[in-house]
Amino acid sequence: MSEYDLLIDRREPDVGVVELKGEHDEFTAPKLAREIHTLLDHGLHVVVDLRGATFLGASNVGVVLSGWTSAAKQGRRLVLLLDESTGPAVRRLFELTRLGTIVPAFTSRAGALAAIRAGGERRAGTDRRSGGERRVRSKRGVAVERRSSEDRRSGLDRRANGYS
């Protein structure tokens, strides 16, 4: 195996999985872009599997965002797959960029495929909340509660600390 691998899995009907293993910098970005757009051009939804990635450069983040935009324009979906086996540098990148708030991210392949087949559950822009807010149900209805900076956590932090 080289220091990076980019594998394509087309075994799922209507879905192409792009699996990244190892380090991916500016050198691999054009190949990633080509593979994502080829899958979309063939009418497939795309799962970008980052569970084996140890490094992801900024140009590859741009490729993922571009692919997500292209997929949406074509009526397709592009989702991400990452979990605790994803390299710490990649997980940290997702924390810092909050890319998972734009491109749907899942921790299991089954979850990613189910979301694609269900049509996704993206909130409308007016219904989205920042990390500083949370909805609280009470007898009087639903209220939005502001959180202090100490109470805010990314989804990756919550999972790492055992929160759900």
pTM of the model: 0.70
pLDDT of residue 49: 96
User: What is the 3-state composition of the chain as percent helix, strand, coil, each rounded to the nearest 5?
Assistant: 40, 30, 35
Longest dimension (CA), the chain: 59
pLDDT of residue 155: 52
> Alpha carbon of 4 to those of 20, 39, 55: distances in Å?
8, 20, 10
**CB 72 within 8 Å of CB 106:** no
Per-residue pLDDT tens over the stretch 126-136: 333 444 445 55
pLDDT of residue 157: 52
pLDDT of residue 82: 93
Helices (H) and strands (E) in the chain, counts: 5, 7
pLDDT category of residue 125 using cuts at 50, 70 and 90: very low
Per-residue pLDDT tens over the stretch 18-72: 999 999 989 999 999 999 999 999 999 999 999 999 999 999 999 999 999 999 9
pLDDT of residue 135: 53
Average of per-residue pLDDT values in the chain: 81
Per-residue pLDDT tens over the stretch 135-158: 555 555 555 555 555 555 555 555
